[in-house]
Amino acid sequence: MYAEVLAFEAALSVRFDWVLHVGDFGVWPDPTRIDGATRRHEGAGDFPTWFAEHRAVPRPTVFIKGNHEDFVWLDAQPSAEVLPGLHYLRNGQVQELRSGDEVLRVGGIGGCYGPSDFERPSASLQGYAKRHYTRDEIVGLAARGQLDVVLTHDAPAGVPFEQHRRGPGYTSEAAGLDELLARTQPRICFFGHHHTRLDSKVAEVPCVGVNKAPHPGCLIAVEIKSGERSWRVLAEWPTRKHDSEHQAR
């Protein structure tokens, strides 16, 4: 991912202050523990090597969990900074992003919606069930004060998809995430999981769906200044031309 981030920076002639990641980062410190879906698709990726070498990430990064990570390992970490510069934002928690005098408050709800687990206490979820978020995590985050940015892995309920593996016109049913946005009114929400680049609105909050790497719209450069409601998209990456080159390789 960072090769793409650095290429994007070079194309824009900027240096990003922070990288925000919406989950399925691929946190598999032990490649023998990867789940079946990850094994069938991308594999364990670079994380085991980076972890073994205690390598610093090239840009400060905050990530939430997706539904394919080593959740047990993540929850067992004594520090949110799982590698130098790489910060795990736990469900219901807030991280302050600082850059000079600017401070942005980012809240996170990772994992996907699971109807059978949603009303259970978060602390009762074990093993693979930790891929689901819970209502108590959402209530906890909503009580933590004003937020500038919310990161969710699943799409907040109500987000419509023109194309979706569940059929055209599918609308997200990820309960609770819409209530979170209604209650906290962040300036922007980013989500992933659905492998679709789209713009929507839930509870008047702009919701930006981020595509799966390396497809167009997997990286979005956004300028957000503290103390203002507005934000702007600088550019997206990769371009379609770049993507077709990617797939031709």
Per CB under 5 A, residues contacting Fe ion are 24, 66-67, 193
Sign for the CA dihedral angle at 196, 198, 202, 205 comes to: positive
Q: How far is the CB of 199 from Fe ion (least distance, A)?
A: 19
Task: Please give the structure tokens belonging to residue 41.
Answer: 């698709």
Strand segments, DSSP code E, in 32-148 are 61-63, 81-83, 86-88, 94-99, 102-109
In the bound state, the residue with its beta carbon closest to Fe ion is 193
Chain centroid to Cα 8, Å, comes to 18
Q: Are 188 and 224 in contact (CB under 8 A)?
A: yes
State the Cα–Cα distance between residues 128 and 70, nearest whole angstrom. Answer: 9
Give whichever of 10 and 72 is closer to Fe ion, judged by the CB atom. Answer: 72
Give whichever of 22 and 83 is closer to Fe ion, judged by the CB atom. Answer: 22
Give whichever of 132 and 193 is closer to Fe ion, judged by the CB atom. Answer: 193
Give whichever of 104 and 155 is closer to Fe ion, judged by the CB atom. Answer: 155
Q: How far is the CB of 155 from Fe ion (least distance, A)?
A: 10
Q: How far is the CB of 206 from Fe ion (least distance, A)?
A: 21
Pairing of strands 188-191, 205-209: parallel
Q: How far is the CB of 24 from Fe ion (least distance, A)?
A: 5
